[in-house]
Chains A and B, each alone.
Chain A
Amino acid sequence: KNEVEQSPQNLTAQEGEFITINCSYSVGISALHWLQQHPGGGIVSLFMLSSGKKKHGRLIATINIQEKHSSLHITASHPRDSAVYICAVSRAQKLVFGQGTRLTINP
């Protein structure tokens, strides 16, 4: 079993829909990161959080430390949100990554 599990692996939705991607981890962490990997391969860090909730534009990330679970939400999704979203946890100064969720938003 991977230390970091994401669900779903693939998600297709229509423009405007509310999107939720989940991440569960099985080990103690110092922080959790949400990353976005574009079709061209570049990686952008969206959030780093260790408790509570963060919001940036249409993106919201939450974490429940007791349940070892985090969610990434996208409101009013748009085709430009199509990408792979990766959850990663910080352990001992390195990141352990989930397998990613491939999101496709259709117009």
Chain B
Amino acid sequence: NAGVMQNPRHLVRRRGQEARLRCSPMKGHSHVYWYRQLPEEGLKFMVYLQKENIIDESGMPKERFSAEFPKEGPSILRIQQVVRGDSAAYFCASSPGAANEKLFFGSGTQLSVL
């Protein structure tokens, strides 16, 4: 049973480009969470999704950021027109049920914006 898979591990983009980060949850998990870790800062919640639904996006910046978790395929975190301040590690976690169950984390995607 593969763990939570994130790709790519490292992503380099120039300012103004788009970044797409993918997360495949563990088999049987229907809840996906995205977190961001800025350099020298702690982890911050971004968005919580279930299949085809955004449950809580209160941690997402209002502009340029979007997330989806389609019926088929991985969850995608999309950042349009990236800026240097978007450089961070983005982690995905999944759980079989609601948030008060144990979470399983992916290895993260390190986004660097030049």
Interface residue ranges, A against B (CB under 8 Å): 30-31, 33, 35, 40-45, 48, 50, 86, 88, 90, 92-100
Contacts and interface: CB of A to CB of B under 8 A. Distances in A.
Contacts of A97: 35, 42-45
B102 A95 contact: no
B69 interface: no
B104 interface: yes
Contact of A45 (B98, B99, B105): B105
Consensus secondary structure, chain A interface: strand
A95 B42 CA distance: 12
The size bracket of the interface on B is: 20 to 34
A88 B55 contact: no
Interface of B: 33, 35, 41-45, 48, 55-56, 58-59, 89, 91, 93, 98-105, 107-108, 110
> B43, B56, B93, B101: which has the most chain A beta carbons within 10 Å?
B43
A95 B105 contact: no
Contact of A43 (B48, B59, B105): B105
A90 B58 CA distance: 15
B30 to A, nearest CB: 13
